[in-house]
Amino acid sequence: MLPMRPELLKGHLDALLLAVLEHGPRHGYAVIETLRTDSGGALDLPTGTVYPALHRLERAGLIASNWETVGGRRRRGYHLTPAGEAVLGEQRAVWDQFATAVTAVLARRPWPATA
Amino acid sequence: MAGHGLNPSTGSRTPVATYLDDLGTKLPGPRRHRSQILVELRDGLDVATDAHLAAGMTTERAQAAAVAQFGSPQEVADAFAGELTTTYARRVVATYIATGPLVGIWWLLLLHPNPWQTGPIAIIAAIPVLPLIAIAIVVAGGTLATTGRLMRWLPETSPRGAAAATMAVAGVSVAADLTMIGLVTVSATTSALLAIVAVATSVTRIACSTAVLHQATRMSRYRHAE
């Protein structure tokens, strides 16, 4: 598999994180691990650099977090808010449109026959 | 549970502890927010270490692998810089909006005891910095709106933009407070006690604004990951 350049992810990371949290609440590390495993290892960002994206989504009100203590460790869990669900729906529609358009142009087509 | 702190056999700092110490010195911004980030990342590093331990690694190797997975402290600090700057800016401008009336009320009482009878022009004549304050409120409100929940509909303000807005609000606040203090020293006042309270609140805000200008300047100079 060709390595995925981080800048390719730019602009899509928000939707990807929202999509991971659509399956239910998760703590930060679990969100990032799910992103890695669900993408078959292609979306392999340095774990520590993904946390700020989660914090930004919380600031925007698209996800919410709560602190709990698990096995003596302080843990921050995240869950999707109704606004987050709505934005995820919008982002999915935008992506479908974009992917269809790009695929239509990039797809290999047979050489056009000349008349 | 994955350990951190000191390695029980060698007594040296563990890879996770060293990593978090290093990251702690590189993260910009207020201490409380930084320590919250370190607690969250420590939990993530512990979970990652546990996974490597379960796969059969030694504690030392498992921690080193977890740390490698997280990215270098500088890389993580750069990634967090924008978020820390924006969070700081939001907290500061919200504090200016919330505490502004606590300063303004004394000046209003001192210089214009009957604002309800004479109308807005007389209030502006008595307190000439009101238009400046209005600009600061608009800048502060705009910053809060474009870095919070309304980001869904409004264009997001960048961390540098938020830091610049914070400096603008703090700068206007200092100018307004100095102007009012200057005004009271040259005009006859009706109440010495009110004058002392008004000047004291403004002096306090000038001190806070100076600290804000210093911190916001430092944060806006930090290299933000784009």
Q: Residue B1's pLDDT is what? A: 47
Q: Which domains, and CATH codes, for chain A? A: 6-106 (1.10.10.10)
Residue with the larger pLDDT of the pair A81 and B7? A81
Spell out the residues 6+ positions from residue B18 whose beta carbon is closer than 8 angstroms to its own.
Answer: none
Residue with the larger pLDDT of the pair A113 and B184? B184
Q: Which residues from A are below 8 Å from B when comparing CB atoms?
A: 27-30, 32, 46-49, 51-52, 55-56, 59-62, 71-76, 83, 87
- pLDDT digits over B144-153, tens only? 999 999 998 8
Tell me the shortest Cα–Cα distance from A106 to chain B, in angstroms.
28
Closest to B125 measured CA to CA, from B137, B108, B142: B108
Give the closest of A32, A47, A74 to B39, CB-based.
A74
**Residue-range domain boundaries for chain B:** 15-71, 82-221
What is the reported pTM?
0.88
Which 8-state DSSP code applies to residue B29?
S
Using left for φ > 0, alpha for ψ between -120 and 50, and beta otherwise, residue A39 falls in: alpha
| Interchain contact, A46 vs B75, CB within 8 Å | yes
Distance CA A41, CA B184 (A): 67
**ipTM computed for the complex:** 0.87
Q: Mean per-residue pLDDT for B162-187?
A: 93
**Which residue do the tokens 């009110």 mark?**
B194
Tell me the shortest Cα–Cα distance from A101 to chain B, in angstroms.
25
Regarding beta strands A63-70 and A26-27, do their DSSP bridges make them parallel or antiparallel, or are they unpaired? unpaired
